[in-house]
Chain A
């Protein structure tokens, strides 16, 4: 990797990427290192599962569907793997993208069938699992449907029964919190900070070995949620 050719290629990549991201040279360089560190199976191509691990570990994005959707959103050319450019540009949006970047990213993630609209069915898919504890007397699906209607009411500005990108953008402009209304697909400030810290400290070569696997982490996550939920319920 330390060969002269390699270094030159890297310089080239950095100059290219500087044009299409808002990242600094140093950051790009670190991300390139990070990318090659991640690509264990095939050099220069980041596979879905590897990327999911990364999302889970550093960006605290845990939902199965959404992890895949973020992967898709990063994968501009729909090749099934992420190229270096895809990766760096995507992470760049994560770290300091504009609101528009974020809106686009979230919309892409929520638009499950890539038809440029978010339909009721897609919302239902996304929100299906968000009721941690459904009250016994009511049908959980019904509750989710009602939730979908609430979101629809807030987002569907042109009342055509589906949410287009302009609809979504308008809703977010109106209320910033609506950006991730259908599930978490962006890292929060804390995650960004730890990720950047990690990059600097390890030079992008943070070894994933020894860290907890996805499934374990997910268990932990579930427990945490439950706990948080219990805390909420304690008042009653």
Chain B
């Protein structure tokens, strides 16, 4: 049943890190009923099967009380209950209930649970399936886990059993235990087969269901309308809608439609008029077989007729979804009331939502749960909003079920929009006032304005959370308001007092930050920056620096033009002022628009200028020197923030930041080093910086700081090395300065800082591209530590760890080391992941490991090749290519490779079909894999049947040397079957191959010569080759030092010559 549960059942999207929930839909309901029947009834199960002990318990959160399990067969232990019966193997009770966790170890007890649950059995079953996504795997073991694509686990299992039976019959004196084990295996098989049949049944049933549901029909429409009528009325506190009615004559045609027959031709079913409380105009809706959409309402020309034109192109699958989108009140009401109405009286509505009686009780339980979830998810939803926005423009708005929780979506979007409007309006105002006070070029401002309006939309991650109007405002709010009043209405003395007093508030607290904004304090503070009073400016900046940690404040500061003024201040005489301005810019420039503003107003240049301080580590520091160092530090902080934009990196480089940063890197103070290395790390992704970091001699300092005791600094250093070490020289330098040791040291430090781990492993990955570094890592026993990190790490760490292992495994002794450290099995396990970057690295690492036959045995045992093979179906081309490369050594080194490959049902067809890919790397990898597959004659026959010959022939026109090499290899191998040689000739593959000999790549020559030698065994091909001028280059290659090449070339020439001789002989005899 795994397949059905994974594919057909409608899961809610998982949120909050929880697993998804089964939605309340009729489809799911039917599925659950089928499963229930299977589990409960005799259903063809034999008692032995019922007693079969699961491999892993099915565990779920239950609503059952321990008291339910009273009676014989159960032992009570305090709050928990266990069954008397235990599993024979490890003596675990077959049923255990402690707290609200229930674990069951056999079907028999599962059945018991359902019986005990009585009318709540559906609840239990649902919880069980929700928490055990793949019950089959739990019951029968991982080998039967549901996988995408060809699944031949049963066949293998069957084979295994037959083999054992044979063995047993031969050695009749085998122990009893063996026999019992075999019996158990048989049981597992039969149960698996039954489950499979169940799966099939359910899939079939759900397909019928799904096909029925695809189009609207009059019945569905009438159902929905009658449901909505139940929730409509005049009182807007109690009802969700004012009214909903059919539009036009109340005549129902025989087919159930209400639309006029000529409109029915267009698929219209009926027309609705819906009045919401908060939308002035009633909505006129067309119910069409393709879905619900708005029409333009009553026609102005003909009375009683509608204007069928559509004002917009949105089509909705369900009426509720549509109204939710149009009316906020409706959405609110529904989310508030949840299932209240339905529960009390409205049978119809209830039926529409949940067709089973069983669900009623559960629905209430769930509604509470949902409500709770809704609350806790609110934040999450806000964050996810951006993603949803992308979904929104889809033409047909499909909302898979009546899931009330989703209602929050639309209404939040709406509020968000209005907020946004609010912001932009204020923004416009601010600009008007600035136009008067500042003399920036008009054109620039317009450009700025239009750009920012579009951009702010896409990057608005902060949602305004205004306190509700009637909510009690904290006392701070009023105090701050008072102080801002002094700011506005006082001379500089009063201003300074107010500023100092403002600083006494806890400005890190959001209420205070927002209070300053809400009482209009930001405007005054920013305006103060434009005055001549140094003290006022300092006071204002001190406050701005603190409150700009808040994302909303940042945006507001940028909107009010604060950045421009602060950039101006950067050139001020006063060093305090410069520092504060730079620090504030560092805080504000955390989002893209702000970074751009800083650049456009020349801020980058000035910030870079700040870095230029006299002397860093001189023994005697005057206060003035300290101050200038502080200025440099603040400048570095601001540049760090700014350096997240590509153009800013460029601007920084042009302004001469690199040598200055190099100088500052010599500092000994962590608070200076962190922003400097942070900036470098950020910029190192640009190739120009990578080079400069090396040539300016910064690697040495980076390595030195790797040994610092500050984790953040270490992290940035490692990240910088990670990004720079793409270059060989850099990698060498890291080694020469002894940077590899601290990198490995970071792994063993047992740190919990995942970012640090990710950076360190990343640096190791890149550094291990150089063989000399691999040597050092070997000495440092890096592999053991890396393998240790394969478990329980977040993906960003895993990607780098696996990448490093892949690089290290290029050296043969390391492959063995990985095996000895127990790394093969976690690596193979990672093949089931979904992260594309990780998969690329994992496949590469597994491929490298497979080069060693001993490793290959383990990989094969873990079914790794099958996993690799299924990754060929991945959407990502890099993953495809990498998987195909990894398959090559597997086939080469696996015992019985041909048999193994054949056992992948559909596998050969799949790999041949990848020859249609457009990606050169994928093609080359697949060709290499095919060359290996074709070593086995039977497999060669199969792929020939799948049409590998014409597809390879089609690729021969490529100019890519890597592809040419592997393509020629594949052609050479494929010639060994039937009349493939002739087919290649017919498909015109021969002449292009001859051209490969002109390539500069020796490898291409070798494989091409081999292919030509094979092809030349056919006389027709000889003629084609000869015509294409093959002889001359081949003769040259006969003189090659490469024996392989010599031999193939000579063989090919021999064949051509023989043909010529035979020809002559024929002519003269």
Contacts and interface: CB of A to CB of B under 8 A. Distances in A.
Interface string B487-517: 1111111101111110110000000000000
A235 B535 contact: no
B486 A178 contact: no
B496 A135 contact: no
A133 B501 CA distance: 20
B212 interface: no
A184 interface: yes
Contacts of B530: 231
A138 B503 CA distance: 25
Given A154-B504, A232-B528, A235-B527, A177 B499 contact: yes
Contact of A177 (B504, B535, B574): B535
Contact of B493 (A127, A235, A236): A127
A188 B577 CA distance: 14
A130 B493 contact: yes
The interface centre, meaning the residue of A130, A147, A189, A235 with most chain B CB atoms within 10 A of its CB, is A235
A150 B501 contact: yes
B436 interface: yes
Contacts of B254: none
B539 interface: yes
A110 to B, nearest CB: 11
Nearest to A181: B497
Contacts of B1061: none
A95 B520 CA distance: 38
A132 B491 contact: yes
A228 B536 CA distance: 12
Contacts of A131: 486, 489-491, 494
Interface string A192-236: 000000000000000000000000000000000100110111111
Contacts of A11: none
A132 B490 contact: yes
Given A154-B504, A177-B535, A235-B524, A189 B573 contact: yes
A189 B489 CA distance: 26
B539 A177 contact: yes
B501 A154 contact: yes
Contact of A235 (B491, B499, B523, B531): B523
A54 to B, nearest CB: 21
Given A177-B535, A177-B539, A188-B534, A127 B494 contact: yes
Interface string A120-152: 000000010111111100000001001100110
Contact of B531 (A134, A188, A231): A231
B489 A181 contact: no
Contacts of B497: 147, 150-151, 154, 181
B538 interface: yes
B919 to A, nearest CB: 57
A183 interface: yes
Contacts, number: 87
Contacts of A132: 489-491
Contacts of A143: 486
Nearest to A126: B493
B935 interface: no
A56 B202 CA distance: 95
Nearest to B498: A150
Interface residues of A, number: 34
Interface in A33-85: none
Nearest to A174: B500
Interface in B456-495: 482-483, 485-494
B495 to A, nearest CB: 9
B482 A134 contact: no
Interface residues of B, number: 37
Nearest to A132: B491
Given A130-B491, A130-B494, A234 B500 contact: no
Interface in B389-438: 430, 433, 436-437
A223 B57 CA distance: 85
Contact of A236 (B496, B498, B520, B538): B520
A177 B496 contact: yes
Nearest to B494: A130
Contacts of A228: 531
A103 B574 CA distance: 21
A210 B538 CA distance: 36
Contacts of B437: 231, 234
Nearest to A233: B488
Contacts of B496: 177-178, 180-181
A146 B497 CA distance: 11
A134 B524 CA distance: 16
A180 B493 contact: yes
Contacts of B492: 184
Interface string A167-182: 0000000010110111
Given A151-B497, A175-B500, A146 B531 contact: no
Contact of A189 (B499, B527, B534): B534
Given A231-B530, A234-B433, A235-B520, A178 B500 contact: yes
Contacts of A188: 534-535
A232 B500 contact: no
Contacts of A147: 486, 490, 494, 497
Nearest to B539: A177
Contacts of A231: 437, 527, 530-531
B524 A232 contact: yes
B623 to A, nearest CB: 12
B490 A146 contact: no
A232 B110 CA distance: 75
A135 B486 CA distance: 10
Interface string B517-549: 000100110011011001100110000000000
Contacts of B494: 127, 130-131, 147
Contacts of B485: 135
Interface in A11-43: none
Nearest to A133: B489
The interface centre, meaning the residue of B493, B528, B539, B574 with most chain A CB atoms within 10 A of its CB, is B493
A231 B565 CA distance: 14
Nearest to B531: A228
Nearest to A224: B532
Contacts of A229: 489, 491
Contacts of B574: 189
Given A231-B437, A232-B528, A181 B500 contact: yes
A131 B488 CA distance: 9
B233 to A, nearest CB: 46
Nearest to B504: A154
Contact of A182 (B433, B493, B498, B528): B493
A117 to B, nearest CB: 19
A15 B945 CA distance: 112
A183 B496 CA distance: 10
B538 A177 contact: yes
Q: State the 7 A-B residue pairs at the shortest beta-carbon distance, nearest first.
A: A235-B523, A130-B494, A130-B493, A130-B491, A133-B489, A150-B501, A183-B493
Given A178-B496, A235-B524, 8 more contacts: A130-B490, A131-B491, A151-B497, A177-B539, A181-B493, A188-B534, A231-B437, A232-B528
Interface of B: 430, 433, 436-437, 482-483, 485-494, 496-501, 503-504, 520, 523-524, 527-528, 530-531, 534-535, 538-539, 573-574
24 contacts: A127-B494, A134-B489, A135-B489, A146-B482, A147-B490, A151-B497, A154-B497, A154-B500, A175-B500, A177-B500, A180-B493, A181-B496, A183-B493, A188-B535, A189-B534, A225-B491, A231-B437, A232-B487, A232-B524, A232-B527, A233-B488, A235-B520, A236-B520, A236-B523
